[in-house]
Amino acid sequence: MTEKEYRSVDYVCQKLRESIIRFLQQKAGEFPNSYHYYPREDRGIIYYKIQGLETTLTITSGGLKENYNMLEVIDQNGREICREESSIRPGRTGTHRISEAYLAKFIMERIENIKKALSKQ
């Protein structure tokens, strides 16, 4: 892959989804999840459901080649209980791949958001 491909929204979303699946399957077994990429809008959507919470991550380019905008929405029974917008900048290896350290940090932040959403109940 080229450096440009490693910086694409599609690649970033795929790597983030893989890290979420890998971590959550170790902790909770199988769970519903999906990923869709919309090239026209250069937007990726990651969806997963665990412990009755439906989480949707929408990721778009942040304008700069290393930055991405992320909207995280957590729903329970069709009701939005958490909505957080943030900017992410994945750590990279020398070959421009997303680093394992960044992926671990990313998934732990998602778990913390789920815990916060559950504690609001």
Q: Where are the domains of the chain?
A: 3-114
The pLDDT tens digits of the residues spanning 90-99 come to: 988 888 889 9
Instruction: Dihedral sign for Cα 46, 47, 50, 54, please.
Output: positive
| DSSP labels, 55-70 | EEEEEEE-SSTT-EEE
Structure tokens at 4: 């440009």
What is residue 121's predicted lDDT score, i.e. its pLDDT?
67
The pLDDT tens digits of the residues spanning 8-29 come to: 999 999 999 999 999 988 887 7
Strand-strand pairing, 53-61 and 68-76: antiparallel
